[in-house]
């Protein structure tokens, strides 16, 4: 028995890792281990022999189990010491750079416009950016020979020879969305259509892709007076100060009568201030929807009438933030955004600071 004891306690003492220790446990006190086999032999012994061998084997088993547990703890402690020695952290290293981003000013203004018009009961309508020339031109009273088609510097989609589908264009305004909305929902209606539009033009105040928000209100007795109220409400909310508007007679194929709308402003030292002074700044086009356009949208012009307007989101964003070159919106980086006061992770400010 003493031989057994010194053999197993010796081996346990020398074990270098947990796997060896587990092997030793199985070989010594496992089901078919040496000590367990010896215990099975107790049955063959005389009662006298059993009386001394039984307790001695039990004591040996307990001692081996205790030695296994103690060695296991010692091995774990040693492993932890090794790790603590090997792994360390230099808390004096500089921190990693944070990735910064911000919601683009045009997106902020887009959302702000949507929120202001929503307050006045306008729902948002959206539509495709690739349109048929019927929705983009004909339905808006701009037939094939009309000079406005050429003026709009339209991007035409490529058509393979033998492709008989109607010509498709990148929409030059969001007006086709209103035609589709009238077709789908009829009258009365009150919608705005914010979205991307495309024209082949590039200079300080034009980019080939820009953003518009157009509005349409149709009912039985809508007038230009309603249009003026809606626009003054909008500009006052957007610029955060009472803004007067001036309507000048104009011409668009899709509205009759038509008006270009200016907002009150002042020029001081080369910067424009909206809502004060004696100057005027042109910001949008508008008018009463032409009967032919109502008809194209499936709305009966003898029963319904309405106003429509269109403005450039980028343009009113430039005005609010004093940005002189439209191109800066689309090929600039965060340094430029910070210069104009757009901080990282800024969320759009809705009306009333909501």
Nearer to ligand 2U9, 64 or 192 (CB): 192
For ligand 2U9, the binding residue among 310, 326, 329, 337 (CB under 6 A) is: 310
DSSP per-residue codes, 232-298: HHHHHHHHTS---EEEEEEEETTEEEEEEEEEEEEEETTEEEETSSSEEEEEEEEEEEPHHHHHHTT
Rounded to whole angstroms, how far apart are CA atoms 199 and 170?
A: 8
Give the length of the chain. Answer: 354
Closest approach, Cβ 222 to ligand 2U9, in A, equals 13
Euclidean distance between CA atoms 255 and 340, whole angstroms: 37
Q: Which of 233, 235, 221 is nearest to 288 (CA)?
A: 221
Residue 67 backbone zone (phi > 0: left; psi -120 to 50: alpha; other: beta):
alpha
Work out how close the CB of 234 gets to ligand 2U9 at its nearest, in angstroms, rounded to a whole number: 14
Alpha carbon distance 247, 223 (integer Å): 14
Q: Where in 162-181 is the site for ligand 2U9 (CB under 6 A)?
A: 173, 175, 178-179
Least spacing, CB of residue 327 vs ligand 2U9, in Å: 16
- Which residue from 213, 192, 222 is spatially nearest to 289, judged by alpha carbons? 222
Question: Looking at beta carbons, which pairs linking 45-54 to residues 24 or more positions away fall under 8 Å?
Answer: 53/1
Closer residue to ligand 2U9 in complex, CB, 8/235: 235
The residue behind tokens 């003492």 is 13
Min CB(211)–ligand 2U9 separation in Å: 8
Nearest to 191 by CA among 171, 214, 211: 214
Q: Which of 109, 286, 316, 318 binds ligand 2U9 (CB under 6 A)?
A: 286
Residue 216 makes contact with ligand 2U9 by CB under 6 A:
yes
* Of residues 183-212, those binding ligand 2U9 (CB under 6 A): 212
Question: How far is 166 from 164, CA to CA, in rounded Å?
Answer: 6
CB-closest chain residue to ligand 2U9: 285
112 binds ligand 2U9 (CB under 6 A): no
Stretch that binds ligand 2U9, among 144-152, 158-166, 183-191, 278-286 (CB under 6 A): 278-286
Closest to ligand 2U9 by CB, 80 or 200: 200
172/236 with CB nearer ligand 2U9: 172
Nearer of residues 29 and 218 to ligand 2U9, judged by Cβ? 218
Binding mask 241-260 for ligand 2U9 (x = CB under 6 A): -----------x-xx-----
Which residues make up the interface to ligand 2U9 (CB under 6 A)? 173, 175, 178-179, 212, 214, 216, 252, 254-255, 284-287, 289, 293, 308-312
């Amino acid at each position: 028995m003493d031989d057994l004891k010194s053999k197993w306690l010796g081996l346990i003492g020398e074990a270098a890792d947990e796997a060896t220790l587990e092997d030793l446990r199985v070989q010594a006190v496992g089901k078919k281990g040496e000590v367990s086999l010896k215990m099975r032999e107790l049955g063959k012994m005389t009662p006298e022999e059993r009386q001394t061998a039984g307790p001695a084997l039990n004591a040996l088993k307990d001692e081996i189990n205790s030695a296994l547990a103690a060695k296991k703890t010692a091995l774990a402690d040693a492993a932890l010491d090794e790790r603590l020695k090997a792994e360390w952290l230099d808390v004096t290293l500089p921190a990693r750079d944070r990735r910064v981003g911000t919601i683009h000013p045009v997106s902020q203004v887009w959302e702000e416009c949507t929120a202001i018009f929503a307050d006045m009961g306008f729902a948002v309508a959206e539509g495709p950016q690739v349109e048929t020339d019927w929705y983009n031109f004909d339905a808006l009273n701009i037939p094939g020979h009309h000079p406005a088609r050429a003026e709009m510097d339209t991007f035409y989609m490529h058509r393979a020879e033998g492709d008989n589908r109607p010509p498709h264009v990148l929409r030059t305004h969001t007006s086709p969305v209103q035609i589709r909305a009238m077709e789908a929902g009829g009258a009365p209606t009150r919608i705005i259509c914010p979205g991307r539009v495309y024209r082949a033009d590039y200079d300080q105040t034009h980019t080939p892709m820009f953003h518009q928000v157009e509005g349409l209100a149709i009912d039985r007795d809508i007038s230009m007076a309603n249009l003026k109220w809606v626009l003054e409400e909008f500009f006052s909310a957007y610029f955060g100060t009472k803004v007067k508007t001036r309507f000048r007679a104009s011409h668009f194929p899709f509205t009759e009568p038509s008006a270009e709308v200016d907002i009150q402003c002042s020029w001081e030292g080369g910067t424009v201030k909206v809502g004060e002074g004696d100057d005027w700044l042109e910001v949008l086009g508008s008018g009463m929807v032409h009967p032919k356009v109502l008809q194209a949208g499936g709305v009966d012009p003898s029963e319904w009438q309405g106003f429509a307007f269109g403005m450039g989101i980028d343009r009113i964003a430039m005005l609010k933030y004093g940005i002189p070159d439209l191109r800066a919106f689309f090929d600039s980086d965060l340094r430029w955004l910070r210069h104009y006061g757009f901080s990282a992770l800024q969320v759009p400010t809705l009306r009333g600071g909501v």
